[in-house]
Amino acid sequence: MALQPMTSTQSPGGHGAHSGPSIPVALNGRALAGNRRIPLNLDWVDQVRVNTSAVERRTATQVARRTVKKDTQAAWLLRAIACMDLTTLSGDDSAERVRRLCAKARNPLQRHIVEGLDIAELHLTVGAVCVYHAFVETAVKALEGSGIPVAAVSAGFPAGLSPLAERVAEIHRSVEAGAREIDIVITRAHVFGGEWQALYDEVAAFKEACGADAHLKAILGTGDLMTLRNVARASWVAMMAGADFIKTSTGKEGVNATLPVSLVMARCIRDYAERTGMAVGFKPAGGIRTAKQATDWLALMKDELGRPWLEPSLFRFGASGMLGDIERQLEHHLTGHYSATYRHPLA
């Protein structure tokens, strides 16, 4: 069977994913540009309201309202792989582990699955490889010629509490080492204190440090922010400060990506696009481990933001663990049998 990963005008791999939208980006018929910094508008921040009960009701129906089966499910899972930031952020990371992860990023599916699905011509890769700064050069070398960008976690990840000058300097070093995407973490205390100018200035400094060659993903640490209103306000400030993506979590919080948080952030992106004419990407991270969860998030993005937010230029999963489950589901699609988890290692 020859599967296409949904209907797309580009290869689903990571090629060119960091260089901006590769398909026309529009929302409700309006063409959108990439995001750029605009002045902080405190009226927009103050006007934020979130009906928590309505958000929870909406997301509770997501699983039941959007299900996919058979060939359609397989195609959606291929799309999930194309939008995945394959990540290793462990204290025991090593250069060899990063090299093995990069090899998996180049060929995320085992050969017999690729041949069985007849998708060799898609040249499927993940969206990016995400590592600590210490391994940026290793990853860049291992991915040479693949077109897959390297993302570096920076700015005092995961707490974001080191001095601002040190966090900015770390971004400069990662970009100089070859990182084309920078995942920064905001100071959550700015949100708790309503210090919106300080948060804006912080994200703007990080964006400036990225220069013209790297995209900025702003991690809000939503599990620490306590309320959905805080999540929405932080999203607005980060977008006005020039973030190319807003991201839920570091993966280190007690609670990471959830559908309610993702719905709130997606609607902030939609409202921001309608007010400014600019598109911001979204990255849920942490706690997404199964193929079924992948399709839940993809369906949410399609419902709330439309087809362009199913491209790696505007949507990423910060989840590596689910790749093994996706492989298992695709193999089951081909054979009717589930293989053991150990047969689908990440690295």
* Cis, bond preceding 158 (omega within 30 deg of 0): yes
Q: Residue 266 is which amino acid?
A: A
Determine which one of 183, 224, 296, 325 is catalytic. 183
What's the rounded Cα separation, in Å, for the pair 286 and 320? Answer: 9
At 226, list the tokens: 């306590």
Beta strand extents in 20-68 (DSSP E only): 26-27, 30-31, 33-34
Q: Would you call 303 a catalytic residue per the annotation? A: no
Residue with the two structure tokens 């026309």: 24
- Within 8 A by CB and 6+ apart from 252, the residues are 158, 286
Residue from 104, 207, 217, 247 carrying the catalytic annotation? 247
List, in order, residues 6 or more apart from 101 with CB less than 8 Å away. 86, 88, 129, 131, 139, 320, 346, 347
Is 183 considered catalytic here?
yes
**Could you give the CA distance from residue 268 to residue 218 in angstroms, rounded to a whole number?**
14
**Is 283 one of the catalytic residues?**
yes
From 283, 296, 302, 325, the catalytic residue: 283
Return contacts of 88-91, CB within 8 angstroms, 24+ apart.
88/130, 88/131, 88/320, 88/347, 89/130, 89/131, 89/132, 89/153, 89/157, 89/251
Contact indicator for 291, 322 with CB cutoff of 8 Å: yes
d(CA 323, CA 93): 19
Query: Catalytic positions, please?
Result: 183, 247, 283
